[in-house]
Amino acid sequence: MARDPNTIEREIEQAREALASTLDRLGTQANPKRLVGNAKASAVTKLNDPKVKYPLIGIGALLVLLLLRKLFS
């Protein structure tokens, strides 16, 4: 059974609008500035976690002491 041309045109227009909306969302999600901002925020959050922050401080202090020992021996 043949479909009404007006119905087909409406369906095509709805599909175009849905595709345009999807492409807009993908463009927003794949924005390099947004990706960098999210990565930076994630790294800062992780580094502020005491389970990560204090061991890194300890390792840094140990490296400084070893460097000073090497320089002055």
pLDDT of residue 1: 61
Task: Give the model confidence (pLDDT) of 6-58 as tens digits.
Answer: 999 999 999 999 999 999 999 888 898 998 999 999 999 999 999 999 999 99
Cα separation, 18 vs 12, whole angstroms: 10
| Banded model confidence at residue 73, pLDDT cuts 50, 70, 90 | confident
Domain segments of the chain: what residues?
5-71
Cα separation, 42 vs 37, whole angstroms: 9
pLDDT of residue 30: 86
| Residue in the structure block whose two tokens are 């490296």 | 63
* AA letter at 47: L
